[in-house]
Amino acid sequence: MAEAAIQAGCRFYAGYPITPQNEVPEYMSRRMPEAGGVFIQAEAELSAINMLFGAAAAGARCMTSSSSPGISLKQEGISYIAAAELPCVIANVQRGGPGLGNIRASQADYFQSVKGGGHGDYRLIVLAPSTLPELYKLTMNAFDYADYYKNPVLILSDGILGQMVEPIEIRPYEPILDLPEKDYILDGCKGREARVIKTLFLHPADMLMQRNMHLVKKYEKICTELQLAEEYETSDAQLVIAAYGITARIAKGAVGMARAQNMKVGLIRPITLWPFPKQNFKELAKRIDKFLVVEMSNGQFIEDVKLAIECERPVEFLGCGGGWYPSAENIFEKIQEVIGD
Amino acid sequence: MAMKLARPETLYDQATHYCPGCGHGIVHRLLGEVIDELDIREKVIGTAPVGCAVLLYDYFNCDIIECAHGRPPAVATGIKRVLPDRVVFTYQGDGDLAAIGTTETVHTANRGENITTIFINNAVYGMTGGQMAPTTITGQWTTTTPAGRGGNQEGPPLKVCELLSSLEGVAYLERVAVSSPKDVGQAKKAIRKAFETQIKGKGFSLVEILSMCPTDWKQSPKQAVDFVNNKLKQVFPLGVFRDWDE
């Protein structure tokens, strides 16, 4: 993830140590100076995200990373950056919660990631990789999405992805979007009018409303253009597992086990959690019997699945919080139970 | 006859929203004059604070970013590290700098970030209507110290220059006031020296300015000036606390 960021032109990283993501700041502390960029070990998560606020305003591609309790602390700054429409990339290597929780993998920050997290009406683009090669690719893409939509992008991974070792091919960065010129940068007003980046809108009374409607239009555009999902063995499926991130990767194994028993099971894996790939879910709901949601939390992701299909099909659930993760066998057993019903 | 008191180019031709007798207007003027005199307006990026000076960008004709409460030093760090040849300043009040943002203040100073902080100490939360500030002096009445500070285990006032003067990353630290013509002259010199410190790449510079808040002190402008001269200066002695030049 750190190397992908460097390859994508990230030249500013600020972060605060927290397990299980310390490998990112450690790598950045070594690599960023080689790349001519800035690495700062901040005194606090709040400081780190606010350093990004400044770096993004100054025009740099910038990134921070943390894990669940640290991401909670960053929410103030994330709200400001989203309100100011500045681009940045934030990585959450999720651990168990609530509170200090534990340092095992978890997906319990789903609501925080896709429903806001900080104060006010705003959205983050949320990407959920399920393998390290995909993490590498999506990290690069994240910088493009951030610049293109002038919005913070959150990479939502977990303690398993954060700690596993897997071969990846280091590919050079290539932009996937036609990126707009950064016409908002604060770099001194030489030869132009002075610029202001602000998030306070007092007068006239409806100014904030208008500002928020501008954001709503942007979010609608993102929803139209950026719903990403992978479908696996869904063409003839009667039961489709819905899972994201590392859980989806495990679920793929369970789909293989079911297919070996001639059970018509498939998988849908959202790659963007916001915007949620509603279209894929709607299409599936027209032709399958049932969904089975698998998540490493106690029923968060399932709400968006039900909303996307407007409860037109039954949705079964296999999930648990606190650092539990399913094995392919666990999921297969659940598949047998659901199909046997 | 040449205009000696013309409006600095750095300030817009705009009446401020500050109350009669408030010190912000004086400090804005001094800051504008210094930026003009150093000819750095087109290289400056400032931060606007949460507090009475949040509308800084309505008055200053330079690039400005408005920050969350207490976070300007972190935001300024991000800007300065990306654009090291620009001149970056924060403009902060006592609650911003010495209460909710103490962490950012201390660590930005300790890293020796090459930025300049203009710190307005008026011993009260102005914007929110006169609550206790970290710099409210012992015995001072505020809306949240009805018995006077010290009556409810609030601790003594926090002295920012004294606190920061032990940090090696700090290059220039001076406390001034704007409560007399002589003080205003010295305040301008200090602001200029602080910006020169940054331009020469010497590290963190901060000017603490004792300032009047007649509205929240429930005083007349004249009484407020006297309060600074007779009370605040006793608790917060003026002077240079750190100077790379000496």
Considering only CB atoms, B103 lies closest to which of A47, A58, A187, namely: A47
- Asked if the structure places residue B10 within a domain, the reply is no
pLDDT at residue A299, as a whole number: 97
Percent of chain B with pLDDT over 90: 96
Please name the residues between 21 and 40 in chain A that touch chain B, using a CB distance below 8 Å: 38, 40
CATH node for A230-340: 3.40.50.920
- Give me the half-sphere count of Cα atoms (radius 13 Å) on the Cβ side of residue B243: 11
B31: closest CA of chain A, how far (Å):
16
Q: Is B66 on the interface with A (CB under 8 A)?
A: yes
What residues make up the domain containing B60? 24-240
Q: Which residues of B touch A50 (CB under 8 A)?
A: 67-68, 71, 74-75, 78, 104
- Asked if the structure places residue B4 within a domain, the reply is no
B80: closest CA of chain A, how far (Å):
8
Element (H, E) at A337: helix A328-340
pLDDT at residue A116, as a whole number: 82
Q: Is A46 on the interface with B (CB under 8 A)?
A: yes
Pairing of strands A265-270, A229-232: antiparallel
Q: Is A63 on the interface with B (CB under 8 A)?
A: no
Is the pLDDT at B1 greater than 80, yes or no?
A: no
Element (H, E) at A190: none
B171: closest CA of chain A, how far (Å):
20
Total domains in chain B come to 1
Residue B58 CA to residue B54 CA, distance in Å, equals 9
Query: B9, B13, B35, B65: which to substitute to probe chain A, counting the most A Cβ within 10 Å?
Result: B65
How many CB atoms neighbour CB A337 within 10 A?
Answer: 12
CATH node for A2-163: 3.40.50.970
B234: closest CA of chain A, how far (Å):
33
Is the pLDDT at B118 greater than 60, yes or no?
A: yes
Q: In what order do the strands lie in the sheet with A38-41?
A: A38-41, A12-15, A62-66, A88-94, A152-158, A125-127, A272-274
Domain range annotation of chain A: 2-163, 230-340
pLDDT at residue A132, as a whole number: 95
Three-state DSSP at A9 gives coil
Question: What ipTM did this prediction achieve?
Answer: 0.96
Identical fold, A2-163 and A230-340: yes
pLDDT at residue B3, as a whole number: 63
Is the pLDDT at A298 greater than 80, yes or no?
A: yes
pLDDT tens for residues A125-156?
999 999 999 999 999 999 999 999 999 999 99
Considering only CB atoms, A47 lies closest to which of B54, B64, B104, namely: B104
- Asked if the structure places residue B84 within a domain, the reply is yes
Q: Which residue of B has its CA nearest to A195?
A: B63
- Asked if the structure places residue B161 within a domain, the reply is yes
Q: What is the CATH number of the domain that holds B228?
A: 3.40.50.970
